[in-house]
Amino acid sequence: MEYSDNAVTMRAGEVLDSNKVKAFLAESIPGLTGELIIQQFPKGFSNLTYLLTIGSIELVLRRPPFGKKAKTAHDMSREYRILKALKPVFPYCPQPLVYTEDSSIIGSPFYVMERIKGIILRKEFPPGLSLTREQAGKLCEKLLDLHLELHSIDYRKIGLENFGKPEGYVERQLSGWTERYRAARTPDAPSFEEVMAWLYEKKPPDSDRPGIIHNDYKFDNIVLDQRDPMNIIGILDWEMATIGDPLMDLGNSLAYWIQKSDPSEMEVIRLMPTKIDGALTREDMVKRYSDKSGMAIENFDFYYCFGLFRLAVIAQQIYYRYYHGQTTDERFRMLIVGVKVLENASLRVIEKTKL
């Protein structure tokens, strides 16, 4: 049975020139023969991802979205560099193969990497795939342990000492996401002012154990082995990776983690099967991280609340485009509901800390 994400015909306005791509591949990657077929993976809202099939070989091409972009956003060279540095010490990365800044090929810089083919979990398990309670718990443990393994890599030893600035990381995250929310707020959006004020009040000092953080680590960026779904074989989407506070990364991940005990309205923002029988709770995940890392975690409410706020900003930025007619994609209409649900969730975290 097929559980992996399938590529489809390229979307109108996002088509690549197959002749130019084929010529580039022939020059850059020895041994490729046969016709080139280009398809596009339909998921995601940021960098664009294409499947390149040449004979029996499957590769993946990543490029920025078309149209106007922020100067520092969608840096393909940065994404390529971290994969190049990480792959020898962290085999779960895709193998990066070639990068080019030559915009004459497809209109932008891009890179090509190996395809890691396997199972990618979405909101519900695909038909025919299920886990026992014990297996569900073990898979959650493996997900958490791999996250900690990433955070524990000595980034200086692999040449990533200039990949980010751990000093002042939390402050920059707070100020940056606060500015983005205020700039993207629409008249029908909640204020989030109480949440932002609380986050500033509770802001922790810089981490004394900074590390490589993925910044979008969640089940739908994890690839499972098709022959053994309990085996994690890949981690995708490294575009937001940097050097920073590992607990910020954990908080961002657990903001996606909707569990059975959550209010029913949280179902609106659930994207992954974290409610299945046997799945760990957020509290379980934090405890395991603390136990295995030896790190005392006493103020995780801050990191979780920030993760919820960050998710709300991302949703609001996309909704802003829909509200102002910059896109007609009807998927974005209901994002405002998710923003309101996320404010409610953030306020519940704050109320709990007062008890």
CATH number of the domain within which 281 lies: 3.90.1200.10
Residues 207, 235 within the same domain: yes
- Give the residue carrying structure tokens 């000492």: 161
Task: Note down the domain range covering 320.
Answer: 133-354
More confident residue, 3 or 188: 188
For the chain, how many helices (H) and strands (E)? 9, 9
Q: Is residue 122, in this structure, part of any structural domain at all?
A: no
Residues 106, 147 within the same domain: no
Within 10 angstroms of residue 171's Cβ, the number of other Cβ atoms is: 13
Average pLDDT over residues 72-86: 86
> What is the spatial distance between Cα 122 and Cα 276, in angstroms, rounded to a whole number?
12
Given this model, what pLDDT does residue 330 score?
Answer: 85
Given this model, what pLDDT does residue 69 score?
Answer: 44
> What is the spatial distance between Cα 142 and Cα 208, in angstroms, rounded to a whole number?
25
Indicate whether this model's pTM tops 0.85: yes
Residues 106, 207 within the same domain: no
CATH number of the domain within which 56 lies: 3.30.200.20
Residues 90, 151 within the same domain: no
Number of domains within the chain:
2
Residues 174, 233 within the same domain: yes
Q: Which of 74-78, 164-168, 318-322 bottoms out in mean pLDDT, i.e. has the lowest?
A: 74-78
Q: Is residue 127, in this structure, part of any structural domain at all?
A: no
Within 10 angstroms of residue 231's Cβ, the number of other Cβ atoms is: 14
> What is the spatial distance between Cα 68 and Cα 49, in angstroms, rounded to a whole number?
18
Per-residue pLDDT at 44 exceeds 70: no
Looking at the chain, the whole-number percentage of residues with pLDDT higher than 90 is 83
Residues 96, 146 within the same domain: no
> What is the spatial distance between Cα 91 and Cα 234, in angstroms, rounded to a whole number?
8
Residues 171, 234 within the same domain: yes
> What is the spatial distance between Cα 332 and Cα 335, in angstroms, rounded to a whole number?
5
Which of 50, 79, 114 is where one domain is finished? Answer: 114
**Which two tokens mark 340?**
């309101």
> What is the spatial distance between Cα 148 and Cα 156, in angstroms, rounded to a whole number?
17
Residues 106, 189 within the same domain: no
Given this model, what pLDDT does residue 45 score?
Answer: 57
Residues making up the chain, counted from first to last:
355
Give bridge partners of residue 212 from the DSSP assignment: 243
**Residue pLDDT, tens place only, 286-342:** 999 999 999 999 899 999 999 999 999 999 998 998 999 987 878 889 999 999 999
Which of 87, 114, 141 is where one domain is finished? Answer: 114
> What is the spatial distance between Cα 36 and Cα 54, in angstroms, rounded to a whole number?
5
**First-residue to last-residue Cα distance in the chain:** 50
Residues 331, 237 within the same domain: yes
